Amino acid sequence: MKSFDAIVIGAGQAGPFLAARMVEKGMKVALIERKFLGGTCVNAGCMPTKTLVASARAAHVARNSAAYGVNIPGEIAIDMKVVRARAETVTMNARNGLIGWFAGMDGMTVISGHARFEGPQTVSVNGEMLTAPRIFLNVGARPVIPNLPGINDIDYLTSTSIIHLDRLPRHLAVIGGSYIGLEFAQMYRRFGAEVSIIEHGPKLASREDEDISDAIADVLRSEGIDIHTGASDIAFAKSSDGITVATDSARIDASHVLIATGRKPNTDDLGLDAAGVITDKHGYITVDDSLATNVDGIWALGDCNGRGAFTHTSYNDFEIAAANLLDGDDRKVSSRILAYALYIDPPLGRVGMTEKQARASGCKIMISTRPMSRVGRANERGETKGFMKVIADAETKKILGAAILGIEGDEVIHGIIDAMNAGTTYPALQWSVPIHPTVSELIPTLLGDLKPV
């Protein structure tokens, strides 16, 4: 039996940083990872996919350069092997950086293997038994594969496997119209593939307000992406030159199929029962406001706890755990204001409540919208798709939420994120003096147009 002060299972965006903080405090820590350091973000999520998005945008800008007076003779060609290699380089640089970082830490033991609980303070890995009074789970999530007719008869792609493609699909059928599916759909359309999105629900990006969802669909359709919402009876069959995807109202002749129907936590093979750790019906580990499980000495961080499905929420889980356990603080998950982005182009930046949620809250609300076509910077850049929307409480004057679908929306939203976290009222933010010409300079104007609902 090897003893440690703490064991961290999973090397995503929370566990490694917490492990490093504990080592700084003089603790002896074991970090166990069954696959690759860095978790989903580094290896199959943010870093490789946003690198691919950047390549796709470069192709899109090149194809449309004539509108800016820049003439590129000949056809814009895509070398998918180079595209793939560039994404892999970004991933490997990040992964190797973590390897080097951990190698220089006295007190850190990095173990490659599959850990399972043998008791509340004991895990087994590679035939060895390890014990610690504190155990942290940062095991992440993986793609969900729905039980659809014919799915086991085809070679389908997931968000993990598609990033390794080194050739261009003739026709990519994307099953699922949420964030992951939408990003890959636009990306591969810009690479030159025909693309169809098949979504069971009535709209794309179902978490968003209807006007946002409709605007997203307009953006994608304008680039030639075929969208099928409200699709039922989805089934697959091999064809002579690919895969047939059939729904109740359409038949698509695809060469490749991407399954993008959500993710599920990697908690089903950890031996949680042996430790007595409780999960919900979806497999997410139940945690309290400090990220502690029902078992003393065990915490769950990141995607596996169901309290956020983003790199930044996972990292914030680390911050909360470190502050509470190492710095004597009392930080809570419930204090977090959720913000995220959808990385289609133009991107969607989101924070706080949707309009639908705000209306249901019982607050007296105010709403303001502004099309990107009325933003000087967007016109100068020739990118006027989308719009801004902000929602505020008419009584407290606090901002409740915002959505910015438009050029640099993923960056512009941070002005509102910061104001909400600081508790700044919208009248105070109206008096800021932003830089011209920027997209952000329209935030005070947007707030000035707030009207009661």
Write the CATH number for 323.
3.50.50.60
| Average pLDDT value for residue range 431-448 | 97
Same domain, 200 and 242: yes
Summarize the confidence of residues 178-196 as an average pLDDT: 98
Q: What angle do CA 41, 422, 339 make, to 5 degrees?
A: 30
So what's the pLDDT on residue 309? Answer: 87
* Same domain (yes/no): 345, 306: no
Range of the domain at 387: 339-452
276: nearest Cα among 263, 291, 294, 292? 294
For the segment 362-378, the average pLDDT, to the nearest whole number, is 97
CA atoms within 13 A on the CB side of 104: 5
Pull the structure tokens for residue 301: 């961080």
The CA distances from residue 239 to 155, 235, 257, 337, in Å, are: 12, 13, 13, 48
* Token duo for residue 133: 């009074």
- Asked which of 320, 335, 350 is the last residue of a domain, the reply is 335
Residues 7 and 124 reside in one and the same domain: yes
Q: How many domains does the chain fold into? A: 3
Query: Is residue 271 very low, low, confident or very high in pLDDT (cuts 50, 70, 90)?
Result: very high
Interval 128-155 mean pLDDT: 97
pTM of the predicted protein model: 0.96
Give the pLDDT mean for 286-300: 98
Q: Do both 177 and 310 map to the same domain?
A: no
Label residues 268-279 b or e (16+ Cβ within 10 Å = b). eebebeebebeb
Catalytic residues: 436
pLDDT(412) > 90: yes
Looking at the structure, tell me whether residues 134 and 212 fall in a common domain.
no
Domain identity same for 320 and 438: no
Pinpoint the alpha helices (H) of 394-453.
Answer: 409-422, 426-430, 442-448
pLDDT above 90 as % of the chain: 99
- pLDDT of 162 reads 98
Q: What percent of the chain stands above pLDDT 70?
A: 100
| Averaged pLDDT for residues 73-83 | 95
**Final residue before a domain boundary, out of 309, 335, 361:** 335
